[in-house]
Amino acid sequence: MKAEQKITIKNRLGLHARPATRFAQLASTFQSQIWLERNGESVDGKSILEVLTLACPKGTTLIVRAEGPDSIDAVEALKRLVENRFGEID
């Protein structure tokens, strides 16, 4: 099963180390393979270092994509994390 959603980085400092860590940690709780894509470049969403290589400032639009038995739940959970600004207060 596959799922994907567009997400927009809303927090002021963008997708820096702390949000990337939270993204990868949450992604790792799912069985599905998870990718994060920006401008045609796709990285492993469970890898903090690979997520950081996307260098996403505030306003960046990304695609989160998952494939596996819990792909829909994974994409929804990751979308909520991003919409909630990774739990950061700007």
Q: Give me the catalytic one of 10, 16, 38, 85.
A: 16
Give 5's strand partners: 64
H-state helical runs in 1-90: 17-27, 48-52, 71-83
Identify whether 16 is a catalytic site residue: yes
**Can you tell me the distance from the alpha carbon of 69 to that of 84, in angstroms, rounded to the nearest whole number?**
25
Give the catalytic positions in this structure: 16
